[in-house]
Structure 1
Amino acid sequence: MSSVSTALADSAIMLRRNLKHTLRNPLVLFNAILFPIVLLLMFVKVLGGGFSVGENYIDYATPGMLVMAVSYGLGSTATAVNDDMTKGIINRFKAMDISRGAVLTGQVVVTTARCLVACTAVIGVAFAMGFDPDASPLDWLGVLGLVVLLTFGASWLTVALGLAAKTAESAGLATVPLIMLPFLSSAIVPADTMGAGMRQFAEYQPFTPIIETLRGLLAGDPSGGDALAAVAWCLGLALLGYVWAVSTFKKRA
C-alpha cells in the first residue's frame, strides 16, 4: 500500500473515532449545533426589533449567525486535541504506526463536518422564521464554498491552539477570542453604526469581510472587494494554523 493510501486510510480511522466522540458528548453537540440556533432566536425574536438595519432583520442576521455557528464549534476541537496530546493517546497511535498527519487531519475534517451541520440547522431555522434570500444556485454554491473555507481555516488554527496549550482548560480558553470576534463584527449590527474605535476594529477584523460576503451572496449581490478579503483571511488562517500545528506536533509528539 502506498504512503498516500495509507495516510488516507489512517485519516478515515481518525475521522470515525472523532465523530464517535462527538456523537457521545451532548455538550459538544449543544455548543456546535443547538447554541447557534438559540443565538439566532434570541437576536431575531428578542433583540431584533431594536436594531435598524434597513432590511428584514432575519435577512441581515442570518449570515452572521452562520459565522457564529462555525466559531462556536471550535472550542471542543481544541480540548480534544489537547487531551490526545497530554494523556498519552498520541504515543499509543505512534506505537500502532498510524500516520501522524492523520491525527490532525481527522480533527480538522470532523470539525468542518460538525460546523456544516450547524450551519445547515441555522439556515433551516432561519427559513422557518421568514428568511427570504435572493441568492441564485451559483450564489448558494459560493456561500457553501466560503463557509467550508472558513471552517477549514479556523479548524487548523484551533488544532494549533490545542496542541500549543499545556492543559485542556487552557486549550478551551485559547479559542475564546475566535468565539467572541463575530460579536465584534458586522454580524449583529452594521459596523458604521458603532462608536469610534470599535467601528474601525469591526471593519478590519477577519470576520467582517467574511460576513459581508455571505450577506451579499445571499442577497444575490456579491461584493468583489469583500469576497477577495474574505478568501484571503480564510486562506491566511488555514496557512497559519497548518504551519503552527505541524511544527508544534513535531516538537511534542
Structure 2
Amino acid sequence: MSAVTDAAPRAARPHPLGQSVRDSLVVAKRNLIRMSRIPEMIIFGLFQPIMFVVLFSYVFGGSINVPGAGLSASGYREFLMAGIFAQTVTFATAGAGAGIADDMHKGLIDRFRSLPMARGAVLTGRTLADLVQTALTLVVLAVVAVLVGWRTHENVGKVLAGFGLLLLLGYAFSWIGALIGLSVRTPEAATSGGLIWLFPLTFISNAFVPSDNMPAFLQTIADWNPFSATVQACRELFGNLPAGYPVSDAWPMQHPVLASLLWSLLILVVFRTLAVRKYRSATA
C-alpha cells in the first residue's frame, strides 16, 4: 500500500525540462501581454533604427567610398543595411536589462520565486518576449529599408537565413542584458550599462564603413568582432557585397556565416549560464 501511494506523487511529478519550457512560455506570454498594453514601448523602440536608416542613407550615402561600389548612394545603402539591422538587434540588449532590473526593483522576481516554477524560466521567458519584439522591429525596419532603396539579390531562403542569424545574435545579446539587469540596482543603471559597451562594439566593426580603412590594430579588432561576423554574413546572404569588395584574410571574414553562428551560440551559452547563476544567488 505504501509503495502505491509513494509511486503516485512520483508519477504525477512533471519532467524538469517540460516544466521549464511551460514556465518559460507562461512568463514570455506575461511579458508580451504587458508590451501590448504599453504600445509606446514598441513605437519608441522603432524610432531610433528608423532614424539611423534615413540619416545614414541620405546623409552619408554618396559620401563614403565603398570598394566595388564607389561613391554610389544606392551602393552604400545596400552595404549599410546589414549593419543597421545588426545594430538594432544588439541595442535591444539595453531594454532587456532595464526590464529585468525593473522587475527586480519592484519585487516581481520575489513573487515569481515564491511560486513552484523553474528558476531559469523567469529569465528565459523575458528574453523570449524580447526576441518577439526584436523580430517585429526587424520587419518594420526592413519595410523602411525597401522604401529608401535597399534591395536583396539572393533567393528567399538565403535572405531568411540572414534574418535568422540576426535574431540569434539579438537573442544571445539579450542574455548579456539579463546579466547586467541582475547586477545593478536600478533600471536607469541597467540602461546605461547596457549601452555604454555597445557603441564601441558596433562602431569598431564593418557595419558602417569598410574595415580596411582603419588602423591595423582596429582592423584586427573589427575583423574578429562577433558583430562584424554577423554583418558580413548578412551581406553575403542578402547579396549586398559589392562586386570586387576586398574581404579580409581573417577567418571570421572568410567564413562569416559559420563564424556568426559560432559566436552567437558561444555568447548564448556563456551568458545564459552566468545570468541564471546570478539570478539564483540574487534570489537565494
For the 8 Å contact 2:89–2:167, the answer to whether it is kept is no
Q: CA deviation at 1:176?
A: 1.3
Residue 197 of structure 1 aligns to a residue in which SS?
Answer: helix
Residue 151 of structure 1 aligns to a residue in which SS?
Answer: helix
**Alignment size in residue pairs:** 253
Q: Distance between the aligned counterparts of 2:189 and 2:182, measured in 1?
A: 11
Q: CA deviation at 1:24?
A: 4.0
Does structure 1 residue 186 correspond to structure 2 residue 206? yes
For the 8 Å contact 2:50–2:144, the answer to whether it is kept is yes
Deviations 1:192-251 (A, max 9, x none): 122343323222222111100110110178x76122221121111101211111110110
Q: Which runs of 4+ in 1 moved over 6 A?
A: none
Q: CA deviation at 1:73?
A: 1.7
Which consecutive residues of structure 1, in runs of 5 or more, have no partner in the other structure?
A: none
**1:190/1:119 Cα in 2 relative to 1: closer, same or farther (>3 Å)?**
same
Equivalent in the alignment of 1:226: 256
Residue 140 of structure 2 aligns to a residue in which SS?
Answer: helix
Equivalent in the alignment of 2:235: 215
Rg (Cα) greater in structure = 2
For the 8 Å contact 1:32–1:114, the answer to whether it is kept is no
For the 8 Å contact 2:78–2:240, the answer to whether it is kept is no
Q: Residue 122 of structure 2 aligns to which amino acid in structure 1?
A: V
Q: CA deviation at 1:190?
A: 0.6
Q: Residue 238 of structure 2 aligns to which amino acid in structure 1?
A: L
Equivalent in the alignment of 1:35: 48
Q: Residue 64 of structure 2 aligns to which amino acid in structure 1?
A: F
Deviations 1:102-137 (A, max 9, x none): 211111101111111111112111111121211112
Equivalent in the alignment of 1:197: 217
Q: Distance between the aligned counterparts of 1:75 and 1:179, measured in 2?
A: 9
Equivalent in the alignment of 1:57: 76
Equivalent in the alignment of 1:248: 278
Q: Distance between the aligned counterparts of 1:220 and 1:179, measured in 2?
A: 24
Alignment of 1:1-253 (within 5 A): 2-3=14-15, 4-25=17-38, 28-53=41-66, 54-55=68-69, 56-180=75-199, 181-219=201-239, 225-253=255-283
Q: Residue 20 of structure 2 aligns to which amino acid in structure 1?
A: A
**1:79/1:157 Cα in 2 relative to 1: closer, same or farther (>3 Å)?**
same
Q: Distance between the aligned counterparts of 2:130 and 2:203, measured in 1?
A: 21
Q: Distance between the aligned counterparts of 2:255 and 2:196, measured in 1?
A: 25
Larger displacement relative to structure 2 (92-101 or 230-239): 92-101
Which consecutive residues of structure 2, in runs of 5 or more, have no partner in the other structure?
A: 1-11, 70-74, 242-252
For the 8 Å contact 1:31–1:73, the answer to whether it is kept is no
For the 8 Å contact 2:154–2:237, the answer to whether it is kept is yes
TM-score by length of 2: 0.81
**1:220/1:71 Cα in 2 relative to 1: closer, same or farther (>3 Å)?**
closer
Give me the CA root mean square deviation: 2.2
Q: Distance between the aligned counterparts of 2:193 and 2:185, measured in 1?
A: 11
